[in-house]
């Protein structure tokens, strides 16, 4: 029987993707593991590998198609010994669930029939369509996965399948044991209570005169950012703590370290430290000193992380992404600097792999280069903290009863109150302050 090739879910939160390019054509022989297409997500362009052997009988979704829904049919594969023409004919009954990018309206746009409300529950946004059989919900899983789930008391209905056609396999159960790949429990209100609904498109458009605006359709990245941050601020009880840090010693150390950096064969320094590199290292070490703050909240229990995996916000055209420096507490400042330079470059080129920007134990958002004095940042789930970093500037301070000039940087820690209480958050940001004001402590 022919096999439908489905649009893959390349990340836990992916709902749609763009089919950028087919690397195989109809009639080509395919082996398991062959790269058959390139898929664009909201964050990156990734290769799609075949799961089964056979012949590519029919391409259902042509390359260049945008907003192809996860689990919709994009091609049909004829198995060994099957008639390719017959298999291709079966594709006619499986139309792709794909939506071309909406054209820019020539005149005042009319409200769309369906709108994406910013207050849509996160759980609903993340869950793919439930596969059904004969009118009843059915969870497709391997026998081994079912046995492992039973032994570990894991609800299969909450596990995100990564096998062929969304089937749950043993690997998914192993990930679920550590809290990864789990959907929100059925019936859990993501909004956390009675929250006023967002204004509809029609209500918003009615406030402005026709012809006084241009409607620019949202791309996948902007929609994902809107959904995730709305879910974060509605489901995570944020609180904020701010401190001023004297970075005079840091600036002097940075200048001395950079001036002493060895040169490569082209005469260029092998590293050039930024203030943000010190911030990443200081936060990573602070989380190790205050391990009760290096956690993630789950309904089943608190995840206590052994390493400090620090996400760093990188601005992109139309959005942002947070690539992660793994085990930052054990890396040198020069290693962090070079790794961040590589991650930022590939992030802007949308070449990051999901494992390079998903997860993490805390994050840094630095707007100091824009002259921002201080701000608050929204926590990136499943993390429990994020540090917002302002600019370093000369301010008047009082020392020993005398007014002096000092280079001061304001930082604000956002905390998830479910996992971190006020005093614990204060310990974490105080530890960060001690490290950032005495950079020699980062290299001991």
What CATH number is given to the structural domain containing 153?
A: 4.10.320.10
Residue 38 lies in a domain: yes
Structure confidence at residue 276 (pLDDT): 97
Residue 345 lies in a domain: yes
Question: Residue 236: is its pLDDT beyond 70?
Answer: yes
Structure confidence at residue 314 (pLDDT): 94
Say how many domains are in the chain.
3
Residue 390 lies in a domain: yes
pLDDT digits (tens, 9 = 90+) for 151-160: 777 878 778 8
Confidence of residue 132 (pLDDT cuts 50, 70, 90): very low
On whether both 361 and 271 belong to a single domain, the answer is yes
On whether both 153 and 287 belong to a single domain, the answer is no
On whether both 159 and 298 belong to a single domain, the answer is no
For 114, residues 6+ apart whose C-beta sits below 8 A from its C-beta are none
Q: Which residues are catalytic?
A: 417
On whether both 298 and 379 belong to a single domain, the answer is yes
Range of the domain at 36: 3-93
Question: Residue 77: is its pLDDT beyond 90?
Answer: no
Which has more confidence, 275 or 168?
Answer: 275
The CATH number of the domain where 262 resides is what?
3.30.559.10
Which has more confidence, 119 or 299?
Answer: 299
Confidence of residue 197 (pLDDT cuts 50, 70, 90): low
On whether both 78 and 169 belong to a single domain, the answer is no
On whether both 257 and 358 belong to a single domain, the answer is yes
On whether both 169 and 231 belong to a single domain, the answer is no
Beta-bridge mates of residue 320: 315
Residue 311 lies in a domain: yes
Structure confidence at residue 306 (pLDDT): 97
* Closest alpha carbon to 385 in 231, 241, 230, 255: 241
Contact criterion met (CB below 8 Å) for 4 and 73: yes
Residue 122 lies in a domain: no
Question: 104-113, 192-201, 212-221, 291-300: which range is least confident on average?
Answer: 104-113
Confidence of residue 181 (pLDDT cuts 50, 70, 90): low
On whether both 22 and 158 belong to a single domain, the answer is no
pLDDT digits (tens, 9 = 90+) for 240-299: 999 999 999 999 999 999 999 999 988 899 999 999 999 999 999 999 999 999 999 999
- Mean pLDDT confidence for 78-103: 60
On whether both 172 and 256 belong to a single domain, the answer is no
Q: What tokens does 84 get?
A: 């390719």
Confidence of residue 384 (pLDDT cuts 50, 70, 90): very high
Confidence of residue 81 (pLDDT cuts 50, 70, 90): confident
On whether both 335 and 382 belong to a single domain, the answer is yes
The CATH number of the domain where 80 resides is what?
2.40.50.100
Question: Residue 116: is its pLDDT beyond 60?
Answer: no
Residue 74 lies in a domain: yes
Residue 351 lies in a domain: yes
- Mean pLDDT confidence for 74-85: 82
Residue 203 lies in a domain: no
Q: What does R_g of the chain's alpha carbons equal in angstroms?
A: 25
On whether both 235 and 285 belong to a single domain, the answer is yes
Residue 286 burial by Cβ neighbours in a 10 Å radius (0-12, 13-18, 19+): buried
User: Measured at the alpha carbon of residue 9, what is the angle toward residues 8 and 12, in degrees to the nearest 5?
Assistant: 170
Question: Residue 136: is its pLDDT beyond 50?
Answer: no
Structure confidence at residue 170 (pLDDT): 83
pLDDT digits (tens, 9 = 90+) for 224-235: 888 888 889 999
For 405, residues 6+ apart whose C-beta sits below 8 A from its C-beta are 394, 395, 396, 397
CA distance to 52, 91, 157, 167, 172, per residue, from 141 (Å): 17, 25, 10, 5, 10
On whether both 35 and 159 belong to a single domain, the answer is no
């Amino acid at each position: 029987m022919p096999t439908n090739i489905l649009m893959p879910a390349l990340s836990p939160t992916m709902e749609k993707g763009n089919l950028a390019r087919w690397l195989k054509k109809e009639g080509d022989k395919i082996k398991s593991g062959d790269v058959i297409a390139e898929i664009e997500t909201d964050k990156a362009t990734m290769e799609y590998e075949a799961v089964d052997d056979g012949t590519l009988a029919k391409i259902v979704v042509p390359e260049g198609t945008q907003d192809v829904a996860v689990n919709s049919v994009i091609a049909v594969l004829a198995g060994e010994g099957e008639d390719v023409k017959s298999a291709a004919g079966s594709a006619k009954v499986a139309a792709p669930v794909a939506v071309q990018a909406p054209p820019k309206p020539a005149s005042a746009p009319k409200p769309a029939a369906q709108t994406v409300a910013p207050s849509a529950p996160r759980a609903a946004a993340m869950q793919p369509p439930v596969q059904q059989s004969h009118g009843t919900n059915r969870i497709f899983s391997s026998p081994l996965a079912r046995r492992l789930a039973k032994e570990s008391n894991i609800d299969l209905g909450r596990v995100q399948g990564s096998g062929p056609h969304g089937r749950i396999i043993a690997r998914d159960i192993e990930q679920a044991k550590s809290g990864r790949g789990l959907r929100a429990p059925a019936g859990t209100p993501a909004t956390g209570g009675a929250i006023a609904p967002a204004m509809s498109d029609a209500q918003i458009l009615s406030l402005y005169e026709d012809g006084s605006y241009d409607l620019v359709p949202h791309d996948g990245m902007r929609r994902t950012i809107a959904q995730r941050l709305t879910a974060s601020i509605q489901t995570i009880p944020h609180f904020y703590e701010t401190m001023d840090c004297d970075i005079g010693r840091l600036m002097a150390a940075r200048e001395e370290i950079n001036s002493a950096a060895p040169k490569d064969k082209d005469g260029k320094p092998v590293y050039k430290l930024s203030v943000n590199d010190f911030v990443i290292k200081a936060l990573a070490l602070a989380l190790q000193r205050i391990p009760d703050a290096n956690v993630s909240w789950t309904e089943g229990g608190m995840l206590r992380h052994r390493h400090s995996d620090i996400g760093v916000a990188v601005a992109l055209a139309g959005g942002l992404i947070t690539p992660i420096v793994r085990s930052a507490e054990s890396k040198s400042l020069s290693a962090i600097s070079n790794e961040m330079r590589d991650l930022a470059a590939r992030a802007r080129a949308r070449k990051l792999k999901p494992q390079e920007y998903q997860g993490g134990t805390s994050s840094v958002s630095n707007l100091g280069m824009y002259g921002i004095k201080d701000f608050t940042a929204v926590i990136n789930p499943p993390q429990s903290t994020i540090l917002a970093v302002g600019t370093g500037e000369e301010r008047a301070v009082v020392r020993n009863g005398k007014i002096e000039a000092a280079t001061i940087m304001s930082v604000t820690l956002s905390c998830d109150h479910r996992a971190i209480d006020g005093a614990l958050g204060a310990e974490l940001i105080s530890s960060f302050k001690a490290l950032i004001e005495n950079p020699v402590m980062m290299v001991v």
